[in-house]
Structure 1
């Protein structure tokens, strides 16, 4: 069964899409990942407070995301300040991340997603969000690995349905103990297809997924979605690699891009003057290249 958006959800979706009808969201809700970009050492990363992360996210918003259709931010460092301090453009949508940084593990070593306390559908609306993004980890081939995270999806989908607030569901998968790199790589396309299937069955209406690995896997995801939009995420690959992935995903039915580190990972610094320059002159060029690709697909339809 495919779940369709309500009018309010459709409006939220429209606001994270460009005039070309495709999603173009700059993701900077990372916390642990952003600390690793800003410092090479565990000690340095630990010393980076939420205030520094917040200012870094302000800079990404000011000099990069305001040129996109939407920004994805967290309520720990960046929201509501990005609105209250006039950083976010009035024409730029805002997705608020529900998931907290990192994960817990159960007795079997399976990942348990964790949520940012107090960020509900109603709170997203109060914070000025266009909608929200939920990220959970799944291993669709290992049913016992998923009970905790499936319940998170169920609860969030139900909460956002009651409040009629737009929700993007992001699914990541992961390598389990004892699984070789080769086995994981070989299984990855089917894992992403399985992740998409599970998320759709749980009522997700818009998906954010890693590049599924092959054109065929992208096409299978699109077939499963049956009109439910899905965006490809960058997973921190380099820009040239991501451009190729975007083209393949779009060729095979994707509905846009939600990208973070591939745009800005080498453009942020503890020196905000350096961040401003590189976000303006390096990251923005990358963004415009992806926007041009999406515009090209719009012209084909």
Structure 2
């Protein structure tokens, strides 16, 4: 992975942080486990349904996910509401697995038809340090056909990039594009690849140094995203697709300039159980081999 030619240069601290979330070959690989409601929904055998799962029960699931899966990866993305600080304080997180802390709260608000995420209440770049993290992640919804450098989302990205740099944190800027209410399925599908690329360009103009993006749909579209990112490394998010599909997406994206992957549900969505023993078995025999396959894909060995 090459970062020296990026339009938004990394500081020395940020460069070290990027190494910590990358494979020995230098490509980003992060297990995403910052989901709250989405992770509850994946626990199909919960008594009385997933809605009845308590915070402590979800925390135990997250701890096992780290213990049996993420500790075999360069890095884990966790939330500050359920998982942290216990996973660090209880010694669950391996010393060689970097901690990425998610700043975004669940859900979004809609203003004039556009979506906006919110910070977890009380969580700041300083909080990431206090929780033991060296990398922060923030999600932004983007519609670059409706937003430019005067937009709220542009200003929010720029302000957080500056705040994290002042704190000595690397910030991963995650972008999700979405369908507008008055937009047909066909219109959105046609616009989607360009929306991903233009969103990347908007975030880079706001100062983003690492991007987490949706797979734009093809080799050609992946190359367009790489061009739009202007040397800023970008990783593919799994967006809940099945593992085999995601491996194909990552393989194509990496060949066309992507610098890694950040995977959650594609790894573990069918490997969680309310029963701890069954959970360990599934994570070890089903999810962990997938992680190894994904590592090969991000390093171009799939």
Q: Same fold (TM over 0.5)?
A: yes
Counting matched residue pairs gives: 295
Deviation at 1:79, TM superposition (A): 1.1
1:206 and 2:210 correspond: yes
Structure 1 residues 293, 101: CA separation in 2 closer, same or farther (over 3 Å shift)?
same
Superimposed CA distance per residue, residues 145-197 of structure 1 (whole angstroms, 9 cap, x where no aligned partner):
x9443332122112112112111100001111021212111111011001101
What's 2:42 paired with?
37
What's 2:57 paired with?
52
> Which residue of the other structure, out of 134, 137, 162, is the alignment partner of 2:138?
134
Deviation at 1:46, TM superposition (A): 3.4
1:285 and 2:289 correspond: yes
Q: Secondary structure at the match of 1:114?
A: coil
When the two chains are superposed, the root-mean-square deviation of aligned CA atoms in Å is 1.9
1:218 and 2:222 correspond: yes
What's 1:153 paired with?
157
Contact preservation (8 Å) 1:168, 1:208: yes
Superimposed CA distance per residue, residues 62-95 of structure 1 (whole angstroms, 9 cap, x where no aligned partner):
1110011000000001111111011100000010
1:275 and 2:291 correspond: no
> Which residue of the other structure, out of 21, 30, 38, is the alignment partner of 1:16?
21
Deviation at 1:47, TM superposition (A): 2.5
Q: Secondary structure at the match of 1:232?
A: strand
Contact preservation (8 Å) 1:113, 1:149: no
Structure 1 gaps, min length 5: none
Deviation at 1:36, TM superposition (A): 2.1
What's 1:247 paired with?
251
CA distance in 2, matches of 1:47, 1:147: 40
What's 1:3 paired with?
8
Q: Secondary structure at the match of 1:168?
A: strand
Greater mean alpha carbon deviation, residues 264-273 or residues 9-18: 264-273
Deviation at 1:25, TM superposition (A): 0.5
Q: Secondary structure at the match of 1:21?
A: coil
CA distance in 1, matches of 2:101, 2:153: 19
Greater mean alpha carbon deviation, residues 80-89 or residues 286-295: 286-295
What's 1:125 paired with?
129
CA distance in 1, matches of 2:211, 2:301: 19
Q: Secondary structure at the match of 2:289?
A: helix
CA distance in 1, matches of 2:235, 2:55: 28
Greater mean alpha carbon deviation, residues 235-244 or residues 272-281: 272-281
Deviation at 1:40, TM superposition (A): 9.3
Contact preservation (8 Å) 1:250, 1:297: no
Structure 2 gaps, min length 5: 1-5
CA distance in 1, matches of 2:53, 2:114: 28
